[in-house]
Structure 1
Amino acid sequence: MSETTFTFRVDETLKEAFSAAAKTRDRSGAQLLRDFMRDFIRTQEEAAAHEAWFRRSVQAGLKAANTGDTVAAEDVEADAKAWRIETQRKRTRSTA
């Protein structure tokens, strides 16, 4: 891996406090900054992947709705009611 220098300005007080905090973790400021950069990149990649998944899911839902591939609200409620009754029955049976 080739390396390059990344130079930026920061308040002296912040730099000193950061260096001191890094030292308490037996790390250099540069090591921590590299870790922070990697974590930031990973977080951004995960957010982008989630956004892409979400958009695909919404598009699939819209396509299903537009083609009539839906479930009636009454059917969903009937299934939910049956599930609630069964769950209550199991809970009552387990406490008896």
Structure 2
Amino acid sequence: MTKNARLILDIDADLHDAFLAAAEAENRPASDIVRDFMSDYVGSHEKPDAEYWAFVERKVEAARKSLRAGKGLSNAEVEAKFAARRAAIANKNA
């Protein structure tokens, strides 16, 4: 990062106090924890990279090729197959 910026927040006083107490209990500055929260939030909203999309495209094309070759199952067949699996697991755990 080349420069710093400030963020001013209006929060409930009880939440503020509880947050500072929790940060102190971990011996961490509250600002470090907020930066971590912000980084995690931004990271969770980033678009997947080109390598991921290439992977997805390969998987989709493989599935389409399989369907064209007549290897696909109908929805009813899939439902029946997994109902049988669920029943087998339920019987095993009973």
In the superposition, the TM-score normalised over structure 1's length comes to: 0.54
**2:69 is equivalent to residue 71 of structure 1:** yes
Let me know the Cα RMSD of the aligned residues. 3.4
**2:26 is equivalent to residue 28 of structure 1:** no
Q: Which runs of 4+ in 1 moved over 4 A?
A: none
One-letter amino acid matched to 2:40:
D
Whole-Å separation in 1 of the counterparts to 2:6 and 2:27:
22
In the superposition, the TM-score normalised over structure 2's length comes to: 0.55
- Identity across matched positions, percent: 23
Whole-Å separation in 1 of the counterparts to 2:20 and 2:34:
11
Q: Which has the greater radius of gyration?
A: 1
Q: Which secondary structure does the structure 2 equivalent of 1:7 belong to?
A: coil
Instruction: Quote the residue 2:57 is aligned against.
Output: 57
Q: How many residues align?
A: 67
Cα displacement (A) at 1:70:
2.4
Whole-Å separation in 1 of the counterparts to 2:7 and 2:45:
20
Q: Which secondary structure does the structure 2 equivalent of 1:19 belong to?
A: helix
- 1:27-63: CA deviation from partner (whole Å, max 9, x where unpaired): 1111100011111111222xx218x739x639x54xx
Consecutive unaligned residues of structure 1, counting only runs of 5 or more, are 75-96
